[in-house]
Structure formats: C-alpha cells, structure tokens
C-alpha cells in the first residue's frame, strides 16, 4: 500500500477507458491526487516529442496506456496511421522518460502482437514465432517495438521499463462508437439499437468460429498496478483472464443477457481476424500475484447495465459518460 504514497506518476491516456480505472486504483493504493498527472491528448499530444518531454518531467513512474486503437474495420482502414502513431508515441515517450531520470516505466503492449497461428494458450516465449494476423499486424508490431526498446534500454542504460501484454478489455465506459469499437461494445450497441428500433435481425461480421479472451477493465487496472509495484524484469508478461470463448457463443450470450429474441445474421464475407486467442496467464500470477477476479458473465452484465443506463441520455450524454 505504501508504494505510491510519495511517488509522482504519469498516466498517459489517463482520461480514457482503462486510464480512468487505473487512476482510481492508484488513489485507493495511496497515491496523492496531486502526484498523479493525466496525459490526455488535449493537453499532451504524444506524437510530438516536446509534449513527451514535458509530460515526463519530474515523474517517478510512467504508466503508458495511450494508444490509437479500434476493431477489425478500423485496423483495415487506417493501417499506416495506427502503425505510425502507436510506434512514435511509445518510442518518444520511453526515450524522454530515460533522459528525464524516470525510475520506472510500464509499457502496455497488445495481444495483437502475437503471431497469427500461436498455439493456445499463448505463452510469452511464442511472441516472436511468426507474423501477426494481417488485419491488425501494423498496430500489433508498432506496440511490439516498445518491448524491443524496453529490453534494449534496460541492457544499455539500466532503464527499468517493463512490458505488459493485455488481452481485449471490456467494461463500463468502454468505447461504443461503431466506427472504432471492439467486439463487446459493438455487439451491445447493435442489440440495444435493434430492440429500440423494433428490428428482428442483427448482422455480425465473420463466421463466429474465431475465439477470443476478454479481461474486465477493473481486473486489468489491478494487474497493471501490481506489475508497477512488484515487477522489475525484462521479460514480457501476459495479462488476461485465462479463458477462451468463440465469437458465436459470445454473440449468443450477449443476446440472451439483453433479451434479444430475433435472428443473428452472419456476414461471412467479412474477416474473422485471428483464429484463436487465449493467454497463458501463469507468469503474471507467479511474478506479481495477479489473477483476474471478475467472472465473464458478471462483467458483461455490468457493461450492459452501464450502457443502457447512459444511452438514455442520448449520444452526447453517452459520450460525456465515457469520458
């Protein structure tokens, strides 16, 4: 509990979905509000080196959560932008933190960095055994470079940068914008809209045969903060819930929880993305004592309830609630 008491901590992306929950966890653990700096894009554009330098000044710990992300559609649409912005933000921030004498940096990677056909469950030692799934490879590789940089900086400069690999996150205050949202918020919005408009059919991308693993946002925040407090090693560490669900089963579960009784139409011309995703989460438990606590159905119910409560306020109200 005393780790954060007198430390100054920068949270990039701190005004975002995950960032807000991480900040709540930091405060519960003794971090003083005046010692927490939130690097939001309106104040710090981390694509600009001078903003990275300004953000890390006088900080003890940096938690780098800021990223440009989206679902399969966005990954196919702006591949170059996703590569450049995620790579340049991380590379500049890590260098600025090293030069500023930051004591520790937590770099958040992505499950998209794993090879397309990684054996399940994904083990950290398999990270370099192939090329990522094509639709999200530019994003995944950009984030993977932060692992290379972290390890190189540790070797040459003794800089304590650790690298965490989370699975897909979900929970209240997620991004429900259909242009850029991930699968769970996208599905929740689709079913809610169909019920509200009296439609009997919901269209879903792909075949439903691909599988995914999901981590509730509060569990993710706990894992990130535990890693910051307890882990100082060079090796990447998976952060997940240790389960796998097919997209078909996920769609049917959300439909059931939302009392949607209509038809689900699968657009098989759209891509499935990576065939399977599930992490081996044993290293996180061994190295810093993290294990996910929230059951998947409970997490989905909380996410659905939050969305339905806030969508009644209209698009603007929902946008404000997400922030």
By annotation, the residues acting in catalysis are 139
Contacts of 244 (CB under 8 A, 6+ apart): 120, 121, 211, 212, 213, 276, 277, 278
For strands 211-212 and 245-246, give the pairing: antiparallel
Q: Give burial (CB, 10 Å; 0-12/13-18/19+) of 264.
A: middle
**Between helices 296-311 and 247-257, what is the axis angle to 10°?**
50
In the three-class reduction of DSSP (H, G, I as helix; E, B as strand; rest coil), residue 63 is classed as: strand
Give 209's DSSP letter.
Answer: -
**What six digits make up the tokens of 310?**
């806030």
Taking residue 171's Cβ as centre, other Cβ atoms within 10 Å add up to 24
Cβ atoms within 10 Å, residue 89? 26
CA distance linking residue 288 with residue 37, whole number of Å: 25
What tokens does 21 get? 């929950």
């Amino acid at each position: 509990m005393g780790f954060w008491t007198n430390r100054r901590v920068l949270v990039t992306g701190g005004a975002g979905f995950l960032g807000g929950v991480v900040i709540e966890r930091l405060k519960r653990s003794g971090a003083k509000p005046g010692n927490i700096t939130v690097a939001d894009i309106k104040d710090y554009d981390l694509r600009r080196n001078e903003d990275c330098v300004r953000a890390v000044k006088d900080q003890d710990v940096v938690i780098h959560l800021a990223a440009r992300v989206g679902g399969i559609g966005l990954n196919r649409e702006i591949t170059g932008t996703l590569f450049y912005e995620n790579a340049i933000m991380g590379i500049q921030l890590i260098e600025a933190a090293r030069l500023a004498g930051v004591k520790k940096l937590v770099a958040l990677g992505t499950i998209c960095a794993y090879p397309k056909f990684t054996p399940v469950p994904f083990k950290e030692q398999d990270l370099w055994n192939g090329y990522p799934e094509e639709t999200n490879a530019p994003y995944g590789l950009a984030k993977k470079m932060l692992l290379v940089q972290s390890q190189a900086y540790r070797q040459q400069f003794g800089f304590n940068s650790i690298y965490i690999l989370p699975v897909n996150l979900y929970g209240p205050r997620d991004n429900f914008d259909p242009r850029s949202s991930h699968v769970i918020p996208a599905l929740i919005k689709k079913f809610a809209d169909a019920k509200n408009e009296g439609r009997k059919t919901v269209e879903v991308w792909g075949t439903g045969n691909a599988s995914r693993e999901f981590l509730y946002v509060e569990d993710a925040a706990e894992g990130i903060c535990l890693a910051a407090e307890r882990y100082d090693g060079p090796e990447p560490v998976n952060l997940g819930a240790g389960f796998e669900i097919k997209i078909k089963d996920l769609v049917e579960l959300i439909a059931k929880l939302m009392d949607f009784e209509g038809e689900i139409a699968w657009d098989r011309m759209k891509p499935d993305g990576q065939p399977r995703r599930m992490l081996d989460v044993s290293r996180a438990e061994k190295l810093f004592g993290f294990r996910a606590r929230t059951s998947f159905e409970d997490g989905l119910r909380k996410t659905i309830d939050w969305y339905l409560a806030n969508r009644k306020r209209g698009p603007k109200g929902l946008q404000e609630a997400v922030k």
